[in-house]
Amino acid sequence: MIAADDKNGKILYEDQDHKFIWLGADPEAASGVVQTNQYLIIDKGKGVLLDPGGIHLFARVVAIASRYISLDRIDSIFFSHQDPDVSSGIALWLGITSAKIYVSSLWLRFLPHFGVVDQSRVIGIENYGNVLKLQSGAALRFVQAHFLHSTGNFSAFDEKSGILFSGDIGASVFPEGREVLFVDDFDAHLAFIEGFHRRYMASSKASSRWVRSVQALSPKMIAPQHGAVYRGPSVARFLEWFARFECGVDVIDSIYSK
């Protein structure tokens, strides 16, 4: 279960210079609205937000992030893709911080539709490069995750903590009251990920390509934008499962028949 005090977030990794923080469960999540996770990396006093989320979460994410860092020290924001639950708060975040935003170049021309956006602060990852150097010299590595599920899609690997932020990949959807913060029993967890991945992910050709890149990084945790965080043996179990899972266009006939 997710404990009541988890609404204030939890530090998933910490050393002298570096923290990787889950920004907590929304205690007032409305039913019918997809649950989302936001994460904050603090490296030598500078912050990177990962998929800080949509407009309706903005006030809560600001309040929780502020418990850990002053907002004027957030200098980078990563968007895994263009979905509203990831990035519809873009204009608000640009207004309240001086951060630059990193997102697939495919979405640069689309994001202004979420509000007035200073384009000079929105950077296309394909043009920028694979690695965002953090204040301490540690690297946040952008990992291609195209078609999982978005056409232009990235994961972000925090080399210092060994935590991979995977966006929608690995997302779980829990029945009310069954939420957990960590996946410790992968077999039991399958019931909460199969439906989402079958319909939202493009194909096992796309997933196996991503899994190969990720296995080479040997992540210690996989932290998705929805649901629980994979740790321990569930990391490798999830990757093995996802590489072979038939989804999207692999099962298009079953989708059309519905």
- Which residues in this chain contact Fe ion in the complex, by CB under 5 A? 83, 85, 168, 225
Rounded distance, CA 23 to CA 60, Å? 9
Using the minimum distance from each CB to Fe ion, give the nearer residue, 38 or 225: 225
Using the minimum distance from each CB to Fe ion, give the nearer residue, 23 or 42: 23
Using the minimum distance from each CB to Fe ion, give the nearer residue, 69 or 164: 164
Give the shortest CB-186-to-Fe ion separation in angstroms.
Answer: 21
Using the minimum distance from each CB to Fe ion, give the nearer residue, 134 or 193: 193
Using the minimum distance from each CB to Fe ion, give the nearer residue, 172 or 204: 172
Give the shortest CB-167-to-Fe ion separation in angstroms.
Answer: 7
Give the shortest CB-50-to-Fe ion separation in angstroms.
Answer: 12
Give the shortest CB-237-to-Fe ion separation in angstroms.
Answer: 22
CB-based contacts of 181: which residues, under 8 Å, 6+ apart? Answer: 2, 6, 10, 22, 25, 228, 229
| Number of neighbouring beta carbons within 10 Å of residue 99 | 22
Give the shortest CB-209-to-Fe ion separation in angstroms.
Answer: 18
Using the minimum distance from each CB to Fe ion, give the nearer residue, 87 or 97: 87
Give the shortest CB-255-to-Fe ion separation in angstroms.
Answer: 17
